[in-house]
Amino acid sequence: MIASNNLEPHNKLCNKGAYCNKSYTTGVSLSVAVRLSVALAAFFLLPIASGAATIALGGVSFSTLIPSGGGVAGVTDFEVDNFTGSFALPNDFPVSENLTFQNSQLVLTEQGGTQEVIPLGDLTPGADTPNSLDFSSTLNFVSAAFTATLSSQTFALSDGTAFEATSSQISSAVNPSMGLTLSPDIDFSLIVVSGTSVATTVPEPRSLSLAFIASAAILATLRLNRRFEICGRKPI
């Protein structure tokens, strides 16, 4: 399903302000967090068909990495966030099980029609901003399309229920919210999946009672045997 339109800095600048080589990071920038919060507020206002549900797994954002200045072009970057498992945010990103976005890729369309396909591999929970997603601020994009395959189609949620996705394929498209090209620190999209919530199996009252009686009988036998041992009598 396409949704078009943690919080520490990325530490992508050296102490003296020079650009550093990036590696995969687990932090999420404040601007990204704010934009995702706004998107979630709008997302949860959307009507949901009876018997079906849609949940958020993460997001794709376009941000300023290094501002332009002094006649020097800046640097922009794209970030893919996987908010599942250890990075889950209950109620907003409720998947409590670690999911991997497998064989993920980002297809960028530049102004003028040129497309670039950037393979991202398998993305585990956290924020991913590899160097391959850094670009000169002079380069304009008209869209960014993310696709991947979920490592599991059925997974646990933070409320104790399970969720079965309609498909293991996920996608998200970042489109301009204004004008003809993407605006850094403004444009982003959520990564969502549709499916059905599955209640966790709960023992029936009769089964629960029988289990309780059996447990009580075992405990009583253990206590009785312990008394016999203390008195020097043969256990049951």
pLDDT score at 199: 73
The tens digit of pLDDT for each residue in 122-146 reads 999 999 999 999 999 999 999 999 9
- Rounded to whole angstroms, the Cα distance separating 93 from 57 reads 6
Place of tokens 């339109």: 5
Q: What is the mean pLDDT of residues 12-21?
A: 33
Q: Is the pLDDT of residue 9 over 60?
A: no
Local structure of 81: helix, strand or coil: strand
pLDDT greater than 50 at residue 8: no
Give the Cα separation of 64 and 74 in Å (integer): 8
Looking at the predicted structure, is the pLDDT value of residue 32 above 70? no
Tokens read off for 16: 């003296």
Q: Is 6 exposed, middle or buried (0-12, 13-18, 19+ CB in 10 A)?
A: middle
Of 196, 174, 171, nearest to 187 by C-alpha is: 174
Q: Which helix (H) or strand (E) holds 193?
A: strand 188-198
Question: Could you read off the pLDDT of 190-236 as tens digits, one per residue?
Answer: 999 999 988 765 444 544 444 444 444 444 444 444 444 444 544 45
- Residue 187, SS3 per DSSP: coil
In angstroms, rounded to a whole number, what is the distance separating the alpha carbons of residues 179 and 181?
Answer: 6
Percent of the chain clearing pLDDT 70 (strictly above): 63
- Close Cβ partners of 138 (under 8 Å, ≥ 6 residues apart): 73
Using the structure block, give the residue that is written with the tokens 């994009």: 141
Percentage with pLDDT > 90 across the chain: 60
pLDDT grade, residue 186 (50/70/90)?
very high
Q: What string of DSSP letters covers 61-79?
A: EEEEEE--BTTB--EEEEE
Q: What is the DSSP letter of 42?
A: H
